[in-house]
Structure 1
């Protein structure tokens, strides 16, 4: 845990980035230099790349020094703005002579040597406060904008696939339903935030990550492990927070054109900018794909392929984003954001279930960050997310050639007040309140269509020498479910060599969804929340590769036990708390660079055991691969770069009884990029180069070999 001041919900927006961990010989109490910044930070991390610094407030702590300049500190050549010297500063502690020793050489190295600009990524999701990713007492992965473009990914699930502790399944081609499992927990045991606003369906409990426009995303933070003590219900497996582009600096347009296999075409455009105290980003994207036949050739009742339709299941998606903010003064900052998507999807269905859908999703957020006193930061956030899905069936006998089947809609309003109080330089206390109201509507007549929840939480973070401590507690109260308490404690030790060892224990829960409680002929209003407890051991450090190589490694071992899982009870013909599960796993990841070479690996070993009573005891939980491996290798040649990614997944089952076995598979993706000029780039990607035939969900086809071309324009990216 390494704290920085001027915390906001998105620490990389107006928070700090932290230099790598202490070197041998440094005193355990020494503090790393912190670089606070107004613009977006592109850090290096588990999936990161070269970092640049934007106009900034510089906060330095080492050996009793704390410096807070009142004018910008660095400006990046990559940002296309002129360099500025380290300014005169307001010294708030002694030893002011160290300012020159810290600021001037650091500025020179940042601007003269690109490799020197690689900073450790800062995350805010793990503790709801800014901290360095590699010293966080949680398993955290960061995907930044540079990494998104380097991987040439076309969707959020593509970015998540292959990460340590993450399993992704998809029911067909582009735009089809996608499920994400963190550490083997259920796909609805996951909190997903967009710019701090919680999203997802209150009816099914799932989240439509496949519809979020990847071209409008700045970075993604994935925190694995229980986080209900900070975020409440659903955070059993972890939290994924997605940040849209923030903008800032000089006005800068951007354009992306892409096309390829299955008649896929995409266009995205945007404009960002701002002044000395403001920032904004406006983006729009449209994607269309003819798709593939989603089903694998035969119908099976209730399997999702109600009928066999020998046709392609196409997909369209329109995405719009707007984000902006203004720093009113040194003590007040305001920000607002909007994300809107509209999609149309064809699938193999039936007259009862439909075979096409039209979906809308919108996320609105606003927040104010106030610093009434020097050690006190108050953040007030408000948000609303809603989704609306209409289902149709092709019918030539009706007007328009289709017949309406059903509609499902969810609205989630949220309000949060968070107080952060820096007790000392090594201690931070957080107290907050979250309020959420969920409403559902549609063609299904629920016996109850509204509920609210109130959560109160507190967190304490401290550093005592080489020891880091994080303690958090939370109480959530639901009108129909009563109160539920959760907690988390983590302890870490940072050795002089840079090796960090951490231990953590946490509890979490998930409140039943509207479908679980009130769906006709299935719901059970007497259901209790699903409960979990988890233990974890983590080790991370720098790879001992010598001065010519730069790299890090991380290993996490965990066990999670989940009780009162909700399933279908054949005796009562309704939902019931009748299932249990135990999840054991190992996650290992490495990243290394040597000159123009770059290598990263992610390994996951998972034992997802069903511990329910009866015939299911000892079976594997469905759709979780027991082994997965990702190896990514890339080489830079001046204007050219060439890379490849190998994905390997072990077997999995698609049903609770373990009768429908899905075999293991390996996929090879290849990519290249050519920088035509400083502002123009051409990219080519070959997915599934070996044309492997595989399934991640029973009876659903996946894309075969596919080739895509992309043209990117963005000034100031050289």
Structure 2
């Protein structure tokens, strides 16, 4: 499937059509979700000037999502690429930038491998997730390295007030898939303060399918590099604990812990392995104090572990463990009505442990940042500046400026400009026989213009942007090492809208992308690999008494799998259907059919994707 379209022209037409259709819909009475990632402070999503999507627990359960990539696929500006089915390696391209150009946080703690930059999307257990915030656009001025395309923050479940409350899910489906989740939540109020906690355990497994569409070498094979005609299964055990205590309205403590252990089979070899154990752990604590009415002080500490062991038919091959320790000191000062200043310092230490002899195995970064949020002369402003100092690659200064202006009839104009950077990984710098210790960080400049509307019948927004990335790190055949030699220019348009029509909850978004390689050489002007030029997602859900039904249409245009644009991946369409029946307010049965028409497609060359699948679950959630 190829969609040929003029980006600006279609965006304008769709924006007009959105207003025309949505003018007929009914009022939506939901409260605005709170967003904290865009500014590191709490705002409602109508206040924030950044492009943000929030997926809460209610939406996760209504859509019967089963993985983080399931939640993210088809969101505005988000492209998901998977090397197979459940549990297999996944990459997320945010606004056309590379997968390692997105910052991933879990409860404020930075996640990801410091050695490779790989983000463990498949290891995040969705059953332990309360909310996901996706901030699109450069965010290094608040978070430092990696946030060129934006930030995805995952919040684990937080206990609510009330007596001890259990929850349970038991499910099964195609490919001998099974899923079990159990949790407890409670809260209490005493003369000494208010407390809460949530604890959860989960397990899932699947027999999977043969993910590599390879061919025996005797018939010209290779495919994805190997040939093992077997099912590639996955299993995962996980648990989380989050608890807190509000001593008063001026002092609050929150602690969190998450552990996820996944065992994956994949098509490999005796040299590269064909089995992997991936362990993701996150521990954090935050203390929020209010010494004075205008001053809020936040102290955070956290550690994340990304540990990986590789085996070949049960025989150990290699181990790579990374640890990231983080400290943060943040001050929010409301010095006047509608005027907030934020200043703070972040500290990060990356460390790796492996039998491979890296020249360096640790590094430290200190970042100082400041931000102004305010309203002046009827205009909203967000200004931020940050300087990061690293003991390996030196200093980097980044900044953001966002502007918003309210028009009549619920319309708002926004504009933003920002710079960001991505530090080279340990592999880039020090991998034996490959690394280049003289690498500089990758850097970017982004400009964005937007218009949005908030009405009684729903919300919509249209955003257009351009991102220029310099000093991209790429392999240089002349030196046989990575060098800062590549450049890219990415232009895009995002249009989304939500509404309620005749009892149907509707959610639609369209992303048009023009990601271009601007490096000197034969690939100059080519499309960047694995980014679809067009993606579309439509969701519709409705409740009929105790029965709920819904469906999703996701469509993606063609893309290429390599820089030379010689390996083409065709466009595809996926239809999902879902339904549930509530026996009581707390107990219901739910079922989902994914890829209803059994579409055969690839998001990465030679890697098969799931066909038509079914999943049924019994959920108890008082």
TM-score, with structure 1 as normaliser = 0.81
CA deviations over 1:616-665 (Å, ceiling 9, x no partner): 10011011000000011122111111111000000011111111110000
Using the TM superposition, give the Cα deviation of residue 323 of structure 1 relative to its aligned residue in structure 2, in angstroms: 0.1
Using the TM superposition, give the Cα deviation of residue 444 of structure 1 relative to its aligned residue in structure 2, in angstroms: 1.6
Once residues 289 and 203 of structure 1 are traced to their aligned partners in structure 2, the CA distance between those partners, rounded to angstroms, is 29
1:261 and 2:174 matched: yes
2:250 match: 331
Which runs of no fewer than 5 residues in structure 2 stay unpaired? 1-26
Once residues 339 and 46 of structure 2 are traced to their aligned partners in structure 1, the CA distance between those partners, rounded to angstroms, is 19
Once residues 292 and 180 of structure 1 are traced to their aligned partners in structure 2, the CA distance between those partners, rounded to angstroms, is 22
Q: 1:243 aligns with which of 139, 146, 155?
A: 155
Give SS of 1:149's match.
Answer: helix
1:296 and 2:203 matched: no
Cα–Cα, structure 1 residues 299 and 589, in superposed 2: closer, same or farther, change >3 Å? farther
1:403-482 to 2 correspondences below 5 Å: 403-482=315-394
Using the TM superposition, give the Cα deviation of residue 542 of structure 1 relative to its aligned residue in structure 2, in angstroms: 2.6
1:670-689 to 2 correspondences below 5 Å: 670-689=577-596
Once residues 117 and 302 of structure 1 are traced to their aligned partners in structure 2, the CA distance between those partners, rounded to angstroms, is 57
Does the CA contact (< 8 Å) of 2:95 and 2:136 recur in 1?
yes
Using the TM superposition, give the Cα deviation of residue 266 of structure 1 relative to its aligned residue in structure 2, in angstroms: 0.4
Using the TM superposition, give the Cα deviation of residue 248 of structure 1 relative to its aligned residue in structure 2, in angstroms: 1.8
CA deviations over 1:553-584 (Å, ceiling 9, x no partner): 11100000000000000110000000000000
Structure with greater proportional strand content: 2
1:353 and 2:272 matched: yes
Q: 1:657 aligns with which of 534, 559, 564?
A: 564
Once residues 475 and 129 of structure 2 are traced to their aligned partners in structure 1, the CA distance between those partners, rounded to angstroms, is 38
CA deviations over 1:65-114 (Å, ceiling 9, x no partner): xxxxxxxxxxxxxxxxxxxxxxxxxxxxxxxxxxxxxxxxxxxxxxxxxx
Does the CA contact (< 8 Å) of 1:299 and 1:306 recur in 2?
no
Does the CA contact (< 8 Å) of 2:215 and 2:221 recur in 1?
no
1:122 and 2:34 matched: yes
Q: Which protein, 1 or 2, shows the higher relative CO under an 8 Å CA cutoff with sep ≥ 6?
A: 2
1:278 and 2:195 matched: yes
Using the TM superposition, give the Cα deviation of residue 508 of structure 1 relative to its aligned residue in structure 2, in angstroms: 0.1
Q: Which runs of 4+ in 1 moved over 2 A?
A: 297-307
CA deviations over 1:28-79 (Å, ceiling 9, x no partner): xxxxxxxxxxxxxxxxxxxxxxxxxxxxxxxxxxxxxxxxxxxxxxxxxxxx
Using the TM superposition, give the Cα deviation of residue 480 of structure 1 relative to its aligned residue in structure 2, in angstroms: 1.4
Once residues 465 and 480 of structure 1 are traced to their aligned partners in structure 2, the CA distance between those partners, rounded to angstroms, is 44
Which runs of no fewer than 5 residues in structure 1 stay unpaired? 1-114, 395-401
1:70 match: none
1:307-706 to 2 correspondences below 5 Å: 307-394=226-313, 402-542=314-454, 550-706=457-613
Once residues 618 and 117 of structure 1 are traced to their aligned partners in structure 2, the CA distance between those partners, rounded to angstroms, is 47
Give SS of 2:97's match.
Answer: coil
2:127 match: 215
Once residues 419 and 496 of structure 1 are traced to their aligned partners in structure 2, the CA distance between those partners, rounded to angstroms, is 35
Does the CA contact (< 8 Å) of 1:228 and 1:474 recur in 2?
yes
Using the TM superposition, give the Cα deviation of residue 298 of structure 1 relative to its aligned residue in structure 2, in angstroms: 2.3
Which shows bigger deviation, 306-315 or 526-535? 306-315
CA deviations over 1:128-161 (Å, ceiling 9, x no partner): 0111112311100000000000111110010000
Once residues 339 and 257 of structure 1 are traced to their aligned partners in structure 2, the CA distance between those partners, rounded to angstroms, is 21
Does the CA contact (< 8 Å) of 1:619 and 1:658 recur in 2?
yes
Once residues 222 and 582 of structure 2 are traced to their aligned partners in structure 1, the CA distance between those partners, rounded to angstroms, is 46
1:80 match: none
Using the TM superposition, give the Cα deviation of residue 126 of structure 1 relative to its aligned residue in structure 2, in angstroms: 0.3
State which structure, 1 or 2, has the greater radius of gyration over its C-alpha atoms.
1
Give SS of 1:169's match.
Answer: strand
2:12 match: none
Once residues 293 and 539 of structure 2 are traced to their aligned partners in structure 1, the CA distance between those partners, rounded to angstroms, is 45
Once residues 394 and 270 of structure 2 are traced to their aligned partners in structure 1, the CA distance between those partners, rounded to angstroms, is 41
TM-score, with structure 2 as normaliser = 0.93
Does the CA contact (< 8 Å) of 1:369 and 1:377 recur in 2?
yes
Give SS of 1:614's match.
Answer: coil
Does the CA contact (< 8 Å) of 1:135 and 1:500 recur in 2?
no
Give SS of 2:168's match.
Answer: strand
Once residues 298 and 474 of structure 1 are traced to their aligned partners in structure 2, the CA distance between those partners, rounded to angstroms, is 51
Once residues 495 and 131 of structure 1 are traced to their aligned partners in structure 2, the CA distance between those partners, rounded to angstroms, is 20
